[in-house]
Amino acid sequence: MHVLVMGAGVVGITSAWYLRQAGYDVTVVDRQNKAGLETSYANGGQISVSHAEPWANPGTPLKVLKWLTQPDAPILFKPRLDLAQWRWAISFLTQCTSAKAAYNIRQMVNLGTYSRTQLQALRQETGIEYDSLSKGILHFYTNPREFEAALEPARLMRELGCDRQVIDADRAIELEPALAPARHRIVGATYTCEDESGDARKFTQALADLAAAAGVKFRFGTDILGFEHTRDRILGVRTLHEGHYETLHADSYVLSLGSFSAVLARQLGLFLNIYPAKGYSITVPVKEDKAAYQVSLTDDEYKLVYSRLGDRIRVAGTAELNGYDRKLNLTRCRAIVRRTAELMPEAAHWEQAEFWSGLRPATPSNVPYIGRSHLGNLYLNTGHGTLGWTHSCGSAAALVDIIAGKRPEVDFAFAGF
């Protein structure tokens, strides 16, 4: 069977890799000239099963109202004359109940645990290198209310097999001495020793090279314009490459175009409730090695994640719901620098921070679409939000099972089941 994968981010490339390993002929199509150049380019770097509490939870609506007038707020909703935005926002509010948040946590923990295991096996099998660190993830809190609100989700995650332990500030500093300058501000923390970190772009591009060596074909620099299709099947994908129009044919198709999946799916009468949540990151050269963290960190109050990538540090986060615009908002970029420099002033050359923004494909529940669509030969692997790197290997491995007609071994609400 020939499978055409639309998208060469971390989710598309892992899909191509696992499909090829299962014996499929695979072609990957992407508008960029190389893999991993959009949302996977400079994300937070965490393989974070413990980051499974969805944005939609009982405490979020009041926070979002408060943040509406704050340009540097962790989550910024900018109202537009955009039906897709408002439909997404209303659906998001319906997810902000305790019962739905608990259900969504279960989905994300199950998929995250499975995916982390798949990544570890892939790393052992291939020797792939991507500045990986297996030192766990430490969630720290400087606001007592935020810490208190984290206790119940952490308890639920432990029940689901994610060992997110609640610890005090002294233990947090013991685990990560780089937080010592902020000791007086930390009110509590949680620690998940099995979580990891690494450079998603390096991983994506290295895996693309391995996939190409294994026989995967790549059509880079190729825009996907639409489809030729019947009511229940895709017949081909219409593309544009260097001024030439071409229809690419395959037996089956995988949609992994991140935030743009929803736009393309509408041509097929398929509604995917995915909206771009623009996130920001800074990448900064390390200044003092001992002052720069080694354990990956999460600052839940400010919606920031921190990863050490060799001689660089990466801090990423916040969410701006403002359409498909990639323009940098320097107020939000500088807020990330300011917060991090306050906590760890000697960790990096803050004046050399490189800014980046990317469009995360967010669903209202934070749970992605993985599985079959209503068209017999179109499969979905998209809508992973902030956890595309975390969930990529597990999503891809499960999708291969689904294409083969098997039920994946992970307990997850797959599309089409």
Q: How confident is the model at residue 166 (pLDDT cuts 50, 70, 90)?
A: very high
Closest CA to 130 of 403, 389, 405, 404: 389
CB 417 within 8 A of CB 391: no
Percent of the chain topping pLDDT 90: 93
| Distance linking the first and last C-alpha atoms of the chain | 22
Q: Give the DSSP per-residue string, 97-144.
A: SHHHHHHHHHHHHHHHHHHHHHHHHHHHHH---SS-B-S-EEEEESSH
Q: Is 323 left (phi over 0), alpha (psi -120 to 50) or beta?
A: left
| Residue type present at position 331 | T
Q: Which residue in this structure is represented by tokens 């766990």?
A: 136
Q: Which residue in this structure is represented by tokens 């880079």?
A: 220
Q: What's the CA gap between 61 and 82, in Å, rounded? A: 20
User: Which tens digit of pLDDT belongs to each residue from 33-89?
Assistant: 999 999 999 999 999 999 999 999 999 999 888 888 888 888 888 889 999 999 999
Query: Chain-wide mean pLDDT for the chain?
Result: 96
pLDDT at 270 > cutoff 80? yes
3-state SS, residue 33: coil
Q: What's the CA gap between 150 and 135, in Å, rounded? A: 21
* 6-17 burial code (b ≥16 CB/10 A, e <16): bbbbbbbbbbbb
Q: How confident is the model at residue 417 (pLDDT cuts 50, 70, 90)?
A: low
User: Which tens digit of pLDDT belongs to each residue from 228-255?
Assistant: 999 999 999 999 999 999 999 999 999 9
Local structure of residue 353 (DSSP, 8 states): P
CB 276 within 8 A of CB 361: yes
Sequence-ordered list of residues with C-beta below 8 angstroms from that of 142, at least 6 positions apart, any chain: 182, 185, 186, 187, 299, 301
The enclosing H or E element of 61 equals: helix 60-67
Q: How confident is the model at residue 267 (pLDDT cuts 50, 70, 90)?
A: very high
User: Which tens digit of pLDDT belongs to each residue from 329-344?
Assistant: 999 999 999 999 999 9
- Which backbone phi and psi does 113 adopt, to 5 degrees? -65, -45
For residue 164 the two structure tokens come to 């997110």
Closest CA to 248 of 68, 4, 1: 4
Query: What are the residue ranges of helices labelled H in 161-275?
Result: 169-175, 200-213, 261-265
Q: Give the DSSP per-residue string, 174-199.
A: HH-GGGGGGTTT--EEEEETT-EE--
Sequence-ordered list of residues with C-beta below 8 angstroms from that of 112, at least 6 positions apart, any chain: 48, 49, 52, 162, 387, 390, 391, 394
Based on C-alpha coordinates, what's the Rg of the chain? 21
pLDDT for 117 equals: 97
Q: How confident is the model at residue 321 (pLDDT cuts 50, 70, 90)?
A: very high
